[in-house]
Structure 1
Amino acid sequence: MADLLRPEDLKKISEDIDMERAKKAFEKIQAKEREARDLEDSFMHRDLHPDVKLRVNNAVKRAAEQGLNQIQVLTFPASYCNDRGRRINNLEHDWPESLEGFAKRAYQFYLSELQPLGFKLTAQILDYPEGMPGTVGVFLSWDR
């Protein structure tokens, strides 16, 4: 015949289940943080695609065919900026100095290849999670 469970046995069962849930939640948080670090590392070390000129040509041509004179060319978290997006958010003229990694390399490509042709580049904060700059959008535009 089986013994009846005592209250302290039930308490131990509940504590073990709570501990397992906490462990799984902690592992999930760690995995998200690791994924975020990997994404940031990838962004910081990513280089322009070898076919960047062809890709730009195709994108602006498609936009022009649709009657547009602007395309969004890049998005990334404001936290990737060296000021966490403050200069972009405040529309400061020196906002490009806050760019890092891939965004900085893309801006340098713009300066050397696209600006001389008459293109313009702007950046803005697209969202504000918890009241802080969230996503940066970078836009390439041209006169019609």
Structure 2
Amino acid sequence: MNTQGSTKATNMDTLGDEFFMSADDLRKYMMEMKMAHVSQELNAMTKADEARRELIRSLQEHVDVTPEKIAELKQRLQGMIRRAAANGETETMVMRFPNALCTDGGRAINNTEPDWPKTLTGRPRQAYEFWKEHLQPAKYTLKAMIIEFPGGFPGDVGFFLSWS
């Protein structure tokens, strides 16, 4: 029995050494895990920032509006409008873009100033002009709204087409 008792003690010592970390090792492990998690979050944020910059760059470019593109856009909008109307809605968001595409960062839109269209640049400006020329005569209204407020500041802008 004495032999078994000493065997158990030896096994417990071995189990303790093999399977359990010291408190210092556990704290170090936890810190490494936290640092890895923070690093992943920073990498994701960096990738998101890069994607946002690329989106802004591409939306700042002027696109040649051909009759084919107008017809394609009208067809796409008609599908969006029909789906929304079938769901009993009277408006649908037709465009979303970063507030960096407004010369004032979206301030005029956020304050619903009547001259907010003057602040638009790039493709949002083209979208507004498309509405003005092709959709406003058909009695569609266009509303611009800040649709998110990261950190309490204006973020992305949404264009909403309405037929109510």
Structures share fold, TM-score greater than 0.5? yes
Match of 1:128 in 2: 149
Match of 1:68 in 2: 89
C-alpha deviation, 1:58, in angstroms: 1.3
Distance 1:93 1:38, change over 3 A: same
Query: Contact conserved, 2:56 with 2:100, CA < 8 A, in 1?
Result: no
Structure 2 counterpart SS, 1:84: coil
Q: Which amino acid aligns with 1:81?
A: C
Q: Deviations over 1:79-126 (max 9, x none)?
A: 221100000010101111111111000000000000000000001111
Distance 1:127 1:34, change over 3 A: closer
Match of 1:85 in 2: 106
More displaced 10-residue stretch of structure 1: 29-38 or 112-121: 29-38
Structure 2, unmatched stretches of 5+, are: 1-35
Q: Deviations over 1:18-74 (max 9, x none)?
A: xxx9xx89x957665543322211111263682001111111112112211100011
Match of 1:39 in 2: 55
- 1:102 pairs, out of 111, 120, 123, with 123
Q: 1: CA distance between counterparts of 2:87 and 2:119?
A: 32
Distance 1:67 1:131, change over 3 A: same
* Higher helix fraction (1 or 2): 2
Structure 2 counterpart SS, 1:133: coil
Percent identity, aligned pairs only, is 37
Q: Which structure exhibits the higher relative contact order, with contacts defined as CA atoms closer than 8 Å and separated by 6 or more residues?
A: 1
User: Following superposition, which runs of at least 4 residues in structure 1 exceed 2 angstroms of deviation?
Assistant: 27-37, 46-49
Q: 2: CA distance between counterparts of 1:122 and 1:37?
A: 25
Match of 2:20 in 1: none
Structure 1 counterpart SS, 2:113: coil
Normalising by structure 2, what TM-score?
0.65
Structure 1 counterpart SS, 2:154: coil
Q: Which amino acid aligns with 1:77?
A: P
Q: 1: CA distance between counterparts of 2:162 and 2:112?
A: 17
- Corresponding residue pairs, total: 120
